[in-house]
Structures are given as structure tokens and as C-alpha cells.
């Protein structure tokens, strides 16, 4: 018999903890606790009983379904009085705590993150490195990484599933000599000149977001960003599924790609000081978004990070790196020669080809 314990802090919610004995490949005598709210009191015993006897390999979804079904059956049978209220957590949170107790889901503390700041690289190389580093984590060739982007060329990154013709104006692209890059992740278009955005890629094992919905995983993986922003005087919050905003408006957007090998690519771009005139000439969708907001004047800049902090972009990058290192276990790292060669091959065979760039015409 082995006693194990797992915890899960629900993003924006409460802490859920599970202690359980593992006997012969099954869960025995599980004990749920935490600072959540649960009514009626008797529901706690129903959840514990639902977990008892489950095989250790039970998936997150199966555990959550078992807990939900047990609570519904108990309420229908009158075993517990009235409807069940779970405040600050849910059955999925219980399942994640169980999986963590069993070592099938991990926490930030279980990993050492390699921090990369390689300096300016061509835009398509930046996109290719997203694929290389994510594949390498899945292959066991590199650990989890946080990589900050830098570039010198003017570029626009479009999401994996966006229509090239719908998103970009070819005349604006040609006029401003914009390099077009299609990401491997979904999400929207990003107009990026040197020094006008703060962008990073986070590559983590799927075990870190085990059992989480996509929406929950965005908040979970970006929680440190809210702390980093607070450290430079910006009060921020999650807005929608994958955006971060402040009282002054949207600050950033995130995107994800999950590989079958068990690795997750998660990246975020924050506007530092964008020339909206250029952006509107390059991005068709940008015109519609600003038009909806009644923005018609020329020479308007989108500069939430610069205006709200008064800090140089490099100082913001330094602050973000410092905050991440203060919160998680990290080691400074560099891109290897073989990784750069692998990325360049991907640029030549994929990211620079019209077949990939126009995969959605």
C-alpha cells in the first residue's frame, strides 16, 4: 500500500487536494480536501466513495464523469439533500488532483525550465523553432523551455488555419516589405516590427495540463504573465479564452498547438508600440477591428505596454525573465547548432514555401 497526495489550484478558483492509498493498482480510502465550497456537506463523502476502487489508469475525463454521476445519483436518490453546489472547483479539478497524486499529471514544481534568449533571428526561423523545440520535448531531446523572441525584419505571423487572402493585403505586404509566416498554432494574425512586440514561446509536457480544457490551460499557462505584468505596474486579467487585458484594453493574445507525442506549444504576443497605419495597410482584419471600435484617425499607435509602463522593451523582457525565474525552477540555456540546422531545414522545406504559407488560400 502506498499513500500519495496530489494538489490542483483551479485558475481563478480554489485549491483541491486528494490523499489516497494505492492498493493493487486501485485507489483506496481517498480523502478530498481543500479551501473550496461544497454543499451539502454530505457531498464530500459521496465524492470520496466515487473515487474509491477506481483503477490507477483511469483517465481524467473518466474520473470527472464518475464523480459527476455519483453526485447526480445521490441527489436523485435523496441520499444527499438538495442540488449539489461546487464553488471554486468542479469534478474535473478533483480528477486532476487525483492524476497528480498518481504521478500521471505534473505541476510546475516537477520541471526545470530552460530559458532561451538567443537574440534576433529571421521571422521564419522563429516559427520553425516553435516546431523544432516542441518536437524535441516530445522526443526527449530537450526539456521544457521558455524562449523569448527577437527579430529585425518586418513580419506578419498568421494562424495555422487563417485564410491568407482574407487576412493580408498583398499591396500592403509588398509596400512594407513584410515577411509572411504561417504558424503551426491556431489563433489570429500578429503584425511585428522590430521592437514593437513582446513575444515568447513556452513548450511544456502535456502532463502539465493533463485533464484541463483548452480554456483552462490558457489561464493556467499564462498565470505567471499576470504576475510579471503586476511586477512592472500593470494590473491585468484574463479576457475571453486566450487574451490578457488591463483596464486600458487588450494587452496580449495567446495560441497553442498540442503534438501527439505529448508536448504543448503555448505562445503569447503583447503589443509594445505598434504603428497602426502600417498594420492596417497589411492586415485586412485589423481594419475591421479598429473600425468596429470607431478608430479612424491616422498615425495612431497601439502601445499598451509602452504607455502603461514607460519602460523600454528590453527592460520589460528582463522583468518577465526575472519574474519567471523567481517563480519556477530554471536554467539558462542556448540553442544548439543541430537545432538551428533542423530549424533552417524546416524553413527551406516548409515555412518559406508557398504551399505552406498559402495552405489556406
Judge whether residue 298 has pLDDT over 50.
Answer: no
The pLDDT score that the predictor gives to residue 12 is 83
- Would you say the C-alpha torsion 323, 328, 332, 334 has a positive or negative sign? negative
Rounded to whole angstroms, what are the CA distances from 20 to 30, 32, 89, 97, 257? 4, 9, 19, 11, 33
Max CA pair span of the chain: 71
More confident residue, 10 or 47: 47
Please tell me the CATH code under which domain 2-101 is placed.
3.30.390.50
CATH 3.30.930.10 spans which residues of the chain? 108-357
Judge whether residue 41 has pLDDT over 80.
Answer: yes
Give the pLDDT band of residue 246 (cuts 50, 70, 90). Answer: very high
220 in Cβ contact with 170 (< 8 Å): no
DSSP E strands, 184-281: 190-192, 197-205, 237-239, 243-246, 249-259, 263-271, 274-275
pTM of the model: 0.86
The cell numbers describing 180, all together, are 509572411
The pLDDT score that the predictor gives to residue 297 is 40
3 state SS of 91? helix
Which segment, 7-16, 73-82, 206-215, 225-234, is predicted with the most confidence on average?
Answer: 225-234
Judge whether residue 161 has pLDDT over 80.
Answer: yes
Judge whether residue 311 has pLDDT over 50.
Answer: yes
Rounded to whole angstroms, what are the CA distances from 24 to 35, 47, 50, 55, 273? 31, 21, 18, 9, 59
Instruction: Kindly report the length of the chain.
Output: 361
Judge whether residue 125 has pLDDT over 70.
Answer: yes
pLDDT digits over 178-194, tens only? 999 999 999 999 999 99
Give the residue-averaged pLDDT of 139-157. Answer: 97
Give the pLDDT band of residue 213 (cuts 50, 70, 90). Answer: confident
- What mean pLDDT value characterizes the chain? 93
Distance between start and end Cα atoms, the chain: 58
pLDDT digits over 247-287, tens only? 988 899 999 999 988 999 999 999 999 998 999 999 997 55
CATH 3.30.390.50 spans which residues of the chain? 2-101
Give the pLDDT band of residue 168 (cuts 50, 70, 90). Answer: very high
Give the residue-averaged pLDDT of 107-115. Answer: 95
Give the residue-averaged pLDDT of 151-173. Answer: 96
pLDDT digits over 314-355, tens only? 999 999 999 999 999 999 999 999 999 999 999 999 999 999
Cα torsion 172, 178, 184, 185 to 10°: value is -60
Q: What angle do CA 275, 186, 8 make, to 5 degrees?
A: 110
Say how far apart CA 246 and CA 287 lie, in whole Å.
22
The pLDDT score that the predictor gives to residue 283 is 95
Q: Can you identify the CATH homologous superfamily of domain 108-357?
A: Bira Bifunctional Protein; Domain 2 (3.30.930.10)
Amino acid at each position: 500500500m502506498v499513500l500519495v497526495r496530489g494538489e490542483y489550484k483551479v485558475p481563478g478558483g480554489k485549491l483541491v487536494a486528494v490523499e489516497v492509498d494505492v492498493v493493487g493498482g486501485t485507489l483506496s480510502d481517498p480523502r478530498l480536501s481543500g479551501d473550496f465550497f461544497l454543499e451539502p456537506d454530505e457531498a464530500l463523502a459521496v465524492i470520496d466513495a466515487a473515487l474509491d476502487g477506481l483503477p490507477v489508469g483511469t483517465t481524467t475525463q473518466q474520473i470527472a464523469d464518475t464523480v459527476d454521476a455519483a453526485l447526480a445519483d445521490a441527489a436523485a436518490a435523496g441520499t444527499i439533500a438538495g442540488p449539489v453546489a461546487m464553488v471554486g472547483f468542479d469534478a474535473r479539478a478533483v480528477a486532476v488532483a487525483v492524476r497528480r497524486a498518481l504521478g500521471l499529471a505534473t505541476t510546475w514544481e516537477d520541471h526545470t525550465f530552460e530559458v532561451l534568449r538567443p537574440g534576433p533571428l529571421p521571422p521564419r526561423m522563429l516559427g520553425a523553432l516553435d516546431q523544432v523545440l516542441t518536437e524535441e520535448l516530445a522526443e526527449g531531446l530537450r526539456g521544457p523551455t521558455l524562449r523569448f523572441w527577437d527579430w529585425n525584419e518586418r513580419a506578419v505571423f498568421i494562424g495555422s488555419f487563417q485564410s491568407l487572402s482574407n487576412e493580408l493585403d498583398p499591396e500592403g505586404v509588398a509596400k512594407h516589405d513584410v515577411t509572411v509566416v504561417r504558424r503551426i498554432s491556431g489563433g489570429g494574425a500578429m503584425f511585428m516590427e522590430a521592437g514593437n512586440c513582446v513575444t515568447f514561446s513556452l513548450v511544456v509536457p502535456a502532463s502539465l495540463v493533463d485533464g484541463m480544457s483548452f480554456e483552462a490551460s490558457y489561464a493556467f499557462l499564462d498565470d505567471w504573465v499576470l504576475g510579471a505584468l503586476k511586477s512592472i505596474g500593470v494590473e491585468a486579467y484574463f479576457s475571453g479564452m486566450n487574451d490578457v487585458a488591463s483596464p486600458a484594453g487588450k494587452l496580449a493574445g495567446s495560441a497553442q498547438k498540442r503534438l501527439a507525442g505529448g508536448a504543448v506549444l503555448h505562445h503569447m504576443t503583447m503589443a509594445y508600440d505598434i504603428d497602426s497605419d502600417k498594420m492596417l495597410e497589411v492586415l485586412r482584419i485589423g481594419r475591421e477591428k479598429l473600425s468596429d471600435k470607431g478608430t479612424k484617425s491616422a498615425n495612431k499607435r497601439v502601445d499598451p505596454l509602452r504607455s502603461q509602463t514607460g519602460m523600454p522593451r528590453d527592460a520589460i523582457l528582463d522583468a518577465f525573465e526575472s519574474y519567471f525565474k523567481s517563480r519556477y525552477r530554471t536554467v539558462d540555456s542556448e540553442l544548439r547548432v543541430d537545432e538551428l540546422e533542423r530549424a533552417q531545414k524546416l524553413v527551406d522545406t516548409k515555412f518559406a514555401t508557398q504551399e505552406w504559407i498559402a495552405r489556406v488560400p
